[in-house]
Structure 1
Amino acid sequence: MLAEHKPTPAAPPDVRAGVRITRVEIIAAHIPFAIEFKIATGGIRPGVDVILVRLHTDAGVTGIGETPAWRRQGSNDTVASITTLIRDHFTPLVVGRSPFDIGAILADMDDAIWHSNYAQAGIADALMDLQGKLLGVPVYQLLGGKCRDGVGACAVIGIKADFKRMLDDAQNFYDKGFRSFTVKIGNDAVKDVKAVEAIRAHLPDDALIRVDANAGMDFDTAVSVLKRLEPLGIDAAEQMVQPWDIAGMAELARKTPIPLMADECIATDHDLLDVIQRRAATVMQTKSPKNGGIWRCRQLWTIARAAGMRIYPGNHPGTSIVATAVAHLATAWPGPLLEGPFAVGICGLIGADVVTEPAVMDGRFLRVSDRPGFGLELDDDRIEALRIPF
């Protein structure tokens, strides 16, 4: 005789289910650089302007996110444009909503303002942080649980007129335990090749070297530079040509044995599919701001992995918030990852931070805490000294 079926009792009511966002706080801050930093586009950068988003709730719990007004590498946003988008267009779509409705909120922001990833990213990551804090779990638990204890980062060697300074930078990173190096190129083909040759000759054989032109070359120059770099065993060449020239990237991929990496040309899943279908790259870099937050980065990683692409977790220079956000994403990723520049800001580049306990690298690894959310809180006193009025 079958036992009498008893329905599973309903879970007790959870007050978190009724939590609503009450306010979107926007903070603009200038983060100075501690060292000289230059990429192919633009001059030497003295720092980065960041927009911090703090979401307030009727439960008294807050979540934080970060996005930069970088104005390079796929971003044409300024402090004014990002703050205007968030204040005037996205805040009405967020206030009154559940912080757990991230998919619907992002879809509504997409419908409101097309191609607004940088402004959306600060809100999207703040939603993830808020969810974790409300549930009492770290963000990586929301993304599938812990798959690695630490996330390896690469060292970024900026363009400098003096090769010796580039060699010193590379050696300092190597001595700290870094084994993957991204060398910025794209201003002068002859100097670029000499710089990479010098770094390759200087570092031990276990150092992996990639180059990043930040879309600073035309097609013919890219062909010539890659030809000269072939004997050096370069692991990947990142965004050699303009982001709109996917056809050129695909042709370049046929002309060089060096694997090509797509970065600036990939903002959305549609962009990634175009790169995959044209076989224009075999490596993909994401950045939380460029791609609309870590929730969307996870979607891109899934597509890239299915296509057999290598995944390179990146970021623009930023504070502990954006580095930790990507580290949580990477901690929960079950597949292989390259050691990317997701922590470029906190690896000695920024001269100030905005949280009470800044993230600290363990050699080349960033290990996220088990505290709820990202495990970070804004330091309002530090922020006051960095605040940009708007």
Structure 2
Amino acid sequence: MTHMDGFADERIAGYKVWRLRLPVVSRREHGIGAVDNAVEILLLELASTSGLKGYGEASPWSVFTGSAEASQAALERYMRPVVEGRRVADIAAICADAARAVAHCTEAKAALESALLDLAGRLAGVPVWALLGGKCRDEIALSVSLADPDFDADLRLLERLRDDGVGIVKMKAGFRDHRFDISRLERLRRDWPELDVRVDFNQGLTPGDAMQRVRDVAGFAPTFIEQPVTADQFSLMARIRETIGVPLLA
């Protein structure tokens, strides 16, 4: 008997979508664009025939993965018809049908999967990890991004992070000149040697600059370097990977 057997007859009787605009406390710079003023997200609520509810969130970014408008249309127009009335236990089949119903819109599809798992866990009376094969660890370390164009503000944030026991930071790079990135890494290694530092360019480097700039960053031995160039630069990514001793993520 599986956890799903306990609610085999439960169906999705309610489907609601909210589009929310959330204020951004401080401007965040990334290699491919900035996050400022506010962000828009979508919340999906699924209700079972017995009245329990599960929730999922879509957090798109227009310059990177997609727009809030696209996620909203995917959830309300294209995915709703393949979800309503289905058995909650048929998570994989529902997600497969939703994937075929509309191209791209990965955030909306993630929101649907999250809401289905949340609802299934509530119906079964178990945490979602129990539906996914079991718990692998008791704690997950928190990573915080350093992306404020005012580095002094990020330094103040680091003090709070230290007090809160956060030991992982991802430094956003490539949105200003190279010296700015290097000076921040120098400061982090000097004043916070205990930090687990990762560097993310968010596809912000040009092919001509990428090789040398990534090599310079690799000299600070970050845990990994992420997305130095655009997603279609496969051969350049391979060449960069051959020249550095740091894991390269894309």
TM-score, with length taken from structure 1: 0.60
Q: Does 1:133 align with 2:122?
A: yes
Residue in 1 that maps onto 2:44 = 53
**What are the residue-to-residue correspondences of 1:311-326 with 2, within 5 Å?**
none
Find the residue that maps to 1:186 and give its secondary structure: coil
Q: Relative to 1, partners in 2 of residues 1:130 and 1:189: Cα closer, same or farther, differing over 3 Å?
A: same
CA–CA distance in structure 2, aligned partners of residues 220 and 198 of structure 1: 27
**What are the residue-to-residue correspondences of 1:348-367 with 2, within 5 Å?**
none
Residue in 1 that maps onto 2:78 = 89
Superposition deviation, residue 77 in structure 1: 2.2
**What are the residue-to-residue correspondences of 1:28-43 with 2, within 5 Å?**
28-43=19-34
In percent, how many aligned pairs have the same letter? Answer: 29
Please point out which of 51, 67, 71 is paired with 1:77. Answer: 67
Structure 2 unaligned regions, length at least 5: none
Specify the code of the residue in structure 1 equivalent to 2:203.
A
CA–CA distance in structure 2, aligned partners of residues 15 and 176 of structure 1: 40
**What are the residue-to-residue correspondences of 1:118-129 with 2, within 5 Å?**
118-129=107-118
Q: Does 1:156 align with 2:142?
A: no
Find the residue that maps to 2:25 and give its secondary structure: strand
CA–CA distance in structure 2, aligned partners of residues 220 and 178 of structure 1: 36
Q: Does 1:233 align with 2:212?
A: no
Q: Relative to 1, partners in 2 of residues 1:72 and 1:177: Cα closer, same or farther, differing over 3 Å?
A: farther
The alignment of Structure 1 onto Structure 2 pairs a total of residues equal to 247
Specify the code of the residue in structure 1 equivalent to 2:139.
G
Residue in 2 that maps onto 1:258 = 246
Structure 1 unaligned regions, length at least 5: 1-9, 263-390
**What are the residue-to-residue correspondences of 1:106-121 with 2, within 5 Å?**
106-121=95-110
Find the residue that maps to 2:199 and give its secondary structure: strand
Q: Which moved more, 1:37-46 or 1:62-71?
A: 37-46
Checking the alignment, whether the CA contact within 8 Å between 2:141 and 2:168 is kept in structure 1 is no
Q: Which of structure 1's runs of 4+ aligned residues deviate more than 4 A?
A: none
CA–CA distance in structure 1, aligned partners of residues 219 and 228 of structure 2: 18
Superposition deviation, residue 236 in structure 1: 0.9
CA–CA distance in structure 1, aligned partners of residues 70 and 205 of structure 2: 28
Checking the alignment, whether the CA contact within 8 Å between 2:27 and 2:148 is kept in structure 1 is no
CA–CA distance in structure 1, aligned partners of residues 164 and 114 of structure 2: 30
Residue in 1 that maps onto 2:165 = 177
TM-score, with length taken from structure 2: 0.91
Q: Does 1:186 align with 2:177?
A: no
Checking the alignment, whether the CA contact within 8 Å between 1:193 and 1:225 is kept in structure 2 is no
Q: Please give the per-residue CA displacement for 1:252-273, whole angstroms capped at 9, x wherever unaligned.
A: 10122222112xxxxxxxxxxx
Checking the alignment, whether the CA contact within 8 Å between 1:167 and 1:198 is kept in structure 2 is no
**What are the residue-to-residue correspondences of 1:269-284 with 2, within 5 Å?**
none
Q: Relative to 1, partners in 2 of residues 1:223 and 1:15: Cα closer, same or farther, differing over 3 Å?
A: closer
Superposition deviation, residue 219 in structure 1: 2.5
CA–CA distance in structure 1, aligned partners of residues 207 and 240 of structure 2: 8
Checking the alignment, whether the CA contact within 8 Å between 2:30 and 2:147 is kept in structure 1 is yes
Specify the code of the residue in structure 2 equivalent to 1:245.
Q
Specify the code of the residue in structure 1 equivalent to 2:173.
I
CA–CA distance in structure 2, aligned partners of residues 197 and 34 of structure 1: 26
Q: Does 1:220 align with 2:208?
A: yes
Checking the alignment, whether the CA contact within 8 Å between 2:214 and 2:228 is kept in structure 1 is no
Specify the code of the residue in structure 2 equivalent to 1:34.
V
Superposition deviation, residue 44 in structure 1: 4.3
Superposition deviation, residue 228 in structure 1: 1.9
CA–CA distance in structure 1, aligned partners of residues 18 and 218 of structure 2: 46
CA–CA distance in structure 2, aligned partners of residues 216 and 117 of structure 1: 22
Specify the code of the residue in structure 2 equivalent to 1:17.
A
Superposition deviation, residue 41 in structure 1: 2.3
Let me know the Cα RMSD of the aligned residues: 2.0
Find the residue that maps to 2:27 and give its secondary structure: strand
Q: Relative to 1, partners in 2 of residues 1:15 and 1:193: Cα closer, same or farther, differing over 3 Å?
A: closer
Find the residue that maps to 1:217 and give its secondary structure: coil
